[in-house]
Structure 1
């Protein structure tokens, strides 16, 4: 074999494996649900935008929604019902100050609500950007009213200055943990706890280097801990990698964590985190050379299991424009915790080329372990709080907060990789199917304003459906799920939407219901409908892993539809497929229909051009869909095609026809009538004024000499009519308001009609001296 050929085979082999293994890259949803007002409950207030902050108050049956300069209390069961609202607008002085700092007064210099958290006294803590001067306040909902207490707390370090900058925050035991920027320029990123003692990160690139914050989560790791460990707060973000030996900036995904009981150091790291550690997160998408960037996370925990079994679902997108893939990776909390508790550290080492190289630290690690929470072992050594930690431990963590080991997802590969609309947000819900197993259903928001509903069945990623939430494509910026209502809530710049976990009624047949493989839905043979498992007491037909529809009863026969055509005309037969995964085929009189230039199968339509008697027959459209169990054929439509006159049932005939009625014809008739009436009125007025001689006076008028200068004595009737109509146009059309170019009255129409005649034209220069009616 030629060396170059063998080398090309060597390089192409991984690509071939990639294409074979990741064929689901182009996987499409089984069902695409376009926008319809019945799909979701929508909320939008005129003049208000950016509905990107949500707080579920299930204790009050409320969805508290933060937007630009407003907070809304919506009915949790139907968010289209607004129960209360409160405005929080910036003052003119604040807007002017923001404008003077170079910000856009129409976008930047407003108050974008960015933080909404419930406090332990059942109030709400709310913060807004406040024209690039963040401010926080307390809010209550009493007697159906939202009320701001107007305490005006400083929001620096809690809420972002920039309304379009990513941030993260949680409220844990009435303590606010926030990740944002401390200054107006956004150049001082910080992870901060506001109460009871303010603790934050160091302003060092080794701690946070141009970060883009994503989300935060709390883990009760101290609960029933044998080691006396502390609860943790995890922060997910991306940043420019300090450890990369490269000329260009490389962005990587990170997870950091701090301990709840951290009070800072006594001398070193005063009022700074002593437990801040961070590690790289990998989501290895096969075709990418650059690491994918984290965009959102969702913490899922089984209430019957311990915290170590919790999972983090994370969305990743490429950092280059050469790829249009998005991925979902899943991480165990126990794997993340192990890296921080037992992993090696990275350390900076200066090299001759005057830059710092980060390598694995191989020296002695101080005791207590740098970055560790206070546990039983530390307490035995007399260290009961972080203020007691020795300077050697604190200095170590100050210089080396980065772990050497990267955190890998479960299976060391993504759970889902898909080409198309970029993923933006994710939530996960667990449901028990009819087979008794529990499945994690992912609801993924996209930049196109759609929500993907996907499940992984034993390694097979299956996208059940894709739902368009908003009338126009809008990136989904926030998603939330309520266990009380079983509803999903999503927010975008344009508004907020609410959808159920499943809409089983979209499947009209048993086969369609089973092949949808939705763990929420099953076919009830008694009522003959696809319904929710949770709402049925009887055994339903469902097969989520294989899509086995063999247990389905025979479907009701499809009623044939009559279609007729004119010889030489065109005929269109529709066959809407119930599934994007199905292929449609046509039969005529029981035999497969062979396509030819005259007979085209285009999408869901069969188009017959120049139809003739040979096209008469019975046409049947079949939907063919394969699952792991078998291949299933369904009759979608049957047409009995014959030759005959066009009638009400022949709306699929495709040839031009004259329109005999309708609004456009009626309007034309009305305009024509006005034209005739206007012309007659104008003609009568000219007879009355003597501008046009009566027929019986024609001879007498012709004998009289013409007094007007410049008019030829041999002017004909049509020549006399033309200037009269032109001159008298204002008298017919009324007062001229400067819009005569667009608004034509009956007189102007008559003038235009007169211009179309073939009569000799008046010499216009000879009429320039005529100024008013008296001169005529």
Structure 2
């Protein structure tokens, strides 16, 4: 359920208000529906990915920027001059359209001191906000440009002379023409010397306005009402010329505005955004009595861009491109949308036909404010009688026959109806009823469209979309299906593309992207980057075709029509028309036994799948533990003799339009093992420095005679490199081409041809008990890791655990967690001056033993306590001594006797009665004065 239908359904659920709905179970249910819908769309929504990705340094791009200048967001292409005008922060540039790195002119436009001080007093930043951002650049005539800037939140406009490229100083108030805030969205278009704009009219940005400024006529603007404009974000405006009085209906030209505003039809949990298209007539003069100096032709309708299968709506429009045609009814409107809920991460491109747009404005139903109280739908369809002439219509031949030649002659009934009913009920639906392009995890910000005739005679629309990360996507539209050709990182700093212009001229066919960091010029196609015929054809780029005579991939627009014969192009991606090419010769790779070999293979496109073949058999990644197939190639670690042979990297790409799979040999390698170094001479005693053969494996025989292997400098006489040196790959000139595609050199053939690479590989090892040189045995593959240098790893792991054990032992000994021998060792090492263990501790550690002799302090204390006449008063002391004596007989593991019960005992006992004796309350207290008890490592008594 989309937000619009959901909001409409709220009307039939009762007369609950928005606040009550949010607090009710129904509100929680609706919220759950939305959360589930967002999850479904983000997880299973359709998306399209680019076939080829070009980084910023992979392609030839032209860039312009100057130190100290930023925000190159306003671009204007001149139709009559070789000029690209750029509006930046406090500067205006004139660049060459052919090469933007060439700066022809420059003028500064800084903020005066008084506006700067007023801006800072209003709480704006002096270094950022209170500067002059050039936001409006429009061609006024052949000699002047009309420019406007924010001017420290006091918009100002001026005239720029093109001849000497200087401001004439005829400052005008820029309110309603240029935004106050440089970050605020707006739109302007110059039509026959009149400036049409959509922006905010006040400092706070709370009064939106669609206006027209003309030297000959007074200001014309929208009504200040939320039913006309409700917090809009303007993105684009353009004029559609229908021929005026010379047209069939004699209607005036119309100016269309595209924006996103807060819904006035529905109330929802938050602000529900809705994309709109609004229309005004170019010849509108306002009303005579009603709507004086206001638009009499202002109407707006809802733009729909949704996924029908999921009922999901893209409700935020970011940019619009009008692709004009010879007949204005065939004009197409391309728009990029995202969702109001940004966590979905989807962007869409919808296409609208101008004839359908005109149908909605000419015959659509009107809406009016609802009169039902507490209704969630605030506007409903108007079912009354519509006044004549039709409200919001431009002057045409039928009106002129009624003596209505301008909007000043319209009746007040029609004007009042327009004032109260500016919203149309019928939405503007996209061509095909759904988006033409949907991408995932991409936020589109700008769009430009070019139309190209391919070699098959058909016309294709090529869509260029810029993202908020500085990436440009290029897609081709073919009978409703979209194929994304490539993506290019235009902005090096990965900033958003704030403006995107397309020059369709033959000599300067380029794209111009404006961002905060600079201006980038890019060609519309990178045909020369495709180095083979199949890649040129599989790209399905209408600009590109393969020339077998060159041979190279060329741009067809650079070739005259007669010379285009013989070029190979297929917009379906059928590469069967490409001529056969010989396979690449294998590159010889030589590695040492037991080392790793990396065979690079980059897939030719993002849609291609890579597969490997070894000696004519398919190499499966899960079939062997010694092969790793990654995105960058094949990794063979611990190369053995049976790994030698021919390795081929194949690319497989599916062309859905052609319904075929196309495979291509991308890379081929001949892997061989380096011969071992020759042994020392008999007459010279030389220590053996080479790598010893692995246990259980045959050592390769030495080469005969004194001849060293060709191309292996590591085997030359002299000390061999250490075994821990990194593996180096050496490539020798390729051998002569084989007679058959999969024939290999006999020296590269693995020793056992019966084994397949699809099965687990068995190493041929020498059993320890076998003394025959030819005897072989098969060992468990799990033991081969120990034979490949893992013994060192196990030894290091053992040493690590041993060190950890010693550290734990030392720590426990220091913390007195171990028995008395360790404590004595600790006392001897850490604190040798401390007293040794007292006899009581030794007695505790000894376990069950005979009672201590009478000479012990505890026994003497007990005896004295029994002999005292006041034994009754000292019962607590006697009991404590007996308790201490029992503690000495304890067989536990404590090495320290209890000093107290957790409290500091009193220094002396009073001679009161037994009830007042401390022994009655604290029977386990010990007289620390008469018997000081110390810890094993303490220097002071514990009490």
Structure 1-normalised TM-score? 0.79
2:642 corresponds, among 584, 594, 614, to 614
Supply the distance in 2 between the matched residues of 1:418 and 1:329 (Cα, whole angstroms): 12
Note the 1:399-414 alignment, pairs <5 A: 399-414=420-435
Compared with structure 1, are the counterparts of its residues 544 and 359 closer, same or farther at alpha carbon in structure 2 (3 Å cutoff)? Answer: farther
Alignment of 1:101 with 2:122, yes or no, is: yes
Compared with structure 1, are the counterparts of its residues 81 and 369 closer, same or farther at alpha carbon in structure 2 (3 Å cutoff)? Answer: same
Contact kept, 8 Å, 1:533 with 1:540, in 2: the verdict is no
Compared with structure 1, are the counterparts of its residues 656 and 282 closer, same or farther at alpha carbon in structure 2 (3 Å cutoff)? Answer: farther
Alignment of 1:626 with 2:654, yes or no, is: yes
Q: What is the deviation of 1:540?
A: 4.1
Q: What is the deviation of 1:37?
A: 7.2
1:322 is paired with a residue whose SS is: helix
1:329 is paired with a residue whose SS is: strand
2:188 corresponds, among 169, 177, 185, to 169
Q: 195-204 or 170-179: which moved more?
A: 195-204
User: 1:244 is matched with which residue?
Assistant: 266
For residues 413-460 of structure 1, give each alpha carbon's deviation from its aligned partner in whole angstroms, at most 9, with x where no partner exists: 111111122111111110010110000000111111111110122232
Q: 632-641 or 202-211: which moved more?
A: 632-641
Q: What is the deviation of 1:247?
A: 4.0
Q: What is the deviation of 1:26?
A: 3.4
For residues 503-533 of structure 1, give each alpha carbon's deviation from its aligned partner in whole angstroms, at most 9, with x where no partner exists: 2101100111110111111111111111111
User: 2:673 is matched with which residue?
Assistant: 643
Q: What is the deviation of 1:313?
A: 0.3
Supply the distance in 2 between the matched residues of 1:140 and 1:152 (Cα, whole angstroms): 13
1:562 corresponds, among 583, 588, 595, to 588
Q: What is the deviation of 1:544?
A: 3.8
Q: What is the deviation of 1:587?
A: 1.0
2:289 corresponds, among 230, 253, 267, to 267
Q: What is the deviation of 1:556?
A: 4.0
User: 1:228 is matched with which residue?
Assistant: 250
User: 1:283 is matched with which residue?
Assistant: 305
Supply the distance in 2 between the matched residues of 1:297 and 1:606 (Cα, whole angstroms): 46
2:366 corresponds, among 335, 339, 345, to 345
Contact kept, 8 Å, 1:58 with 1:76, in 2: the verdict is no
Structure 2-normalised TM-score? 0.65
User: 1:495 is matched with which residue?
Assistant: 518
Supply the distance in 1 between the matched residues of 2:569 and 2:480 (Cα, whole angstroms): 16
Supply the distance in 1 between the matched residues of 2:167 and 2:58 (Cα, whole angstroms): 33
Q: What is the deviation of 1:153?
A: 0.8
Q: What is the deviation of 1:378?
A: 1.5
Alignment of 1:85 with 2:106, yes or no, is: yes
Supply the distance in 2 between the matched residues of 1:657 and 1:463 (Cα, whole angstroms): 46
Contact kept, 8 Å, 1:564 with 1:645, in 2: the verdict is no
Alignment of 1:518 with 2:537, yes or no, is: no
Report which structure shows greater RCO (CA 8 Å, sep ≥6): 1
Q: 161-170 or 554-563: which moved more?
A: 554-563
Compared with structure 1, are the counterparts of its residues 288 and 34 closer, same or farther at alpha carbon in structure 2 (3 Å cutoff)? Answer: farther
Supply the distance in 2 between the matched residues of 1:35 and 1:147 (Cα, whole angstroms): 35
User: 2:202 is matched with which residue?
Assistant: 183
Compared with structure 1, are the counterparts of its residues 632 and 37 closer, same or farther at alpha carbon in structure 2 (3 Å cutoff)? Answer: closer
Q: 443-452 or 28-37: which moved more?
A: 28-37
Compared with structure 1, are the counterparts of its residues 540 and 207 closer, same or farther at alpha carbon in structure 2 (3 Å cutoff)? Answer: farther
Higher share in strand: 1
Supply the distance in 2 between the matched residues of 1:632 and 1:23 (Cα, whole angstroms): 28
1:497 is paired with a residue whose SS is: strand
Supply the distance in 2 between the matched residues of 1:475 and 1:436 (Cα, whole angstroms): 36
1:138 corresponds, among 156, 159, 163, to 159
Alignment of 1:552 with 2:582, yes or no, is: no
Supply the distance in 1 between the matched residues of 2:713 and 2:59 (Cα, whole angstroms): 29
Q: 506-515 or 594-603: which moved more?
A: 594-603
Contact kept, 8 Å, 1:517 with 1:542, in 2: the verdict is no
Give RMSD over aligned pairs.
2.4
User: 1:594 is matched with which residue?
Assistant: 620
Alignment of 1:426 with 2:456, yes or no, is: no
User: 1:443 is matched with which residue?
Assistant: 464
2:336 corresponds, among 293, 311, 315, to 315
1:534 is paired with a residue whose SS is: helix
Supply the distance in 2 between the matched residues of 1:400 and 1:27 (Cα, whole angstroms): 41
Alignment of 1:255 with 2:277, yes or no, is: yes
Q: What is the deviation of 1:561?
A: 1.6
2:57 corresponds, among 22, 29, 36, to 36
1:85 is paired with a residue whose SS is: strand
Supply the distance in 1 between the matched residues of 2:378 and 2:341 (Cα, whole angstroms): 25
Matched positions, count:
636
User: 1:52 is matched with which residue?
Assistant: 73
Supply the distance in 1 between the matched residues of 2:669 and 2:620 (Cα, whole angstroms): 17
For residues 660-712 of structure 1, give each alpha carbon's deviation from its aligned partner in whole angstroms, at most 9, with x where no partner exists: xxxxxxxxxxxxxxxxxxxxxxxxxxxxxxxxxxxxxxxxxxxxxxxxxxxxx
Contact kept, 8 Å, 1:312 with 1:333, in 2: the verdict is yes
Q: What is the deviation of 1:572?
A: 1.2
Q: 133-142 or 354-363: which moved more?
A: 354-363
Supply the distance in 1 between the matched residues of 2:724 and 2:418 (Cα, whole angstroms): 80
Q: What is the deviation of 1:62?
A: 0.6
1:472 corresponds, among 483, 489, 493, to 493
Q: What is the deviation of 1:172?
A: 0.3
For residues 281-307 of structure 1, give each alpha carbon's deviation from its aligned partner in whole angstroms, at most 9, with x where no partner exists: 0001244645421111000012xx211
Supply the distance in 2 between the matched residues of 1:463 and 1:648 (Cα, whole angstroms): 48
Runs of 4+ in 1 over 3 A off after TM superposition: 286-291, 540-545, 645-650, 655-659
For residues 150-206 of structure 1, give each alpha carbon's deviation from its aligned partner in whole angstroms, at most 9, with x where no partner exists: 211110000000000100000000000000000000000000001122100011000
Compared with structure 1, are the counterparts of its residues 167 and 72 closer, same or farther at alpha carbon in structure 2 (3 Å cutoff)? Answer: same
1:48 is paired with a residue whose SS is: coil
Supply the distance in 2 between the matched residues of 1:249 and 1:427 (Cα, whole angstroms): 30
Q: What is the deviation of 1:593?
A: 1.5
2:408 is paired with a residue whose SS is: helix
User: 2:632 is matched with which residue?
Assistant: 604
Supply the distance in 1 between the matched residues of 2:390 and 2:564 (Cα, whole angstroms): 58
Q: What is the deviation of 1:25?
A: 2.8
Q: What is the deviation of 1:488?
A: 0.9
Compared with structure 1, are the counterparts of its residues 356 and 643 closer, same or farther at alpha carbon in structure 2 (3 Å cutoff)? Answer: closer
1:505 is paired with a residue whose SS is: helix
Select the structure of larger CA radius of gyration: 2
2:450 is paired with a residue whose SS is: strand
For residues 73-113 of structure 1, give each alpha carbon's deviation from its aligned partner in whole angstroms, at most 9, with x where no partner exists: 11110101111111111123322211110111122111111
Supply the distance in 2 between the matched residues of 1:288 and 1:70 (Cα, whole angstroms): 47
User: 2:600 is matched with which residue?
Assistant: 574
1:584 is paired with a residue whose SS is: strand
Supply the distance in 1 between the matched residues of 2:234 and 2:712 (Cα, whole angstroms): 61
Compared with structure 1, are the counterparts of its residues 612 and 113 closer, same or farther at alpha carbon in structure 2 (3 Å cutoff)? Answer: same
Structure 2 unpaired stretches of 5+: 1-32, 677-710, 715-722, 728-943
Supply the distance in 1 between the matched residues of 2:606 and 2:177 (Cα, whole angstroms): 46
Contact kept, 8 Å, 2:314 with 2:337, in 1: the verdict is no
Supply the distance in 1 between the matched residues of 2:318 and 2:201 (Cα, whole angstroms): 22
Contact kept, 8 Å, 1:541 with 1:551, in 2: the verdict is no
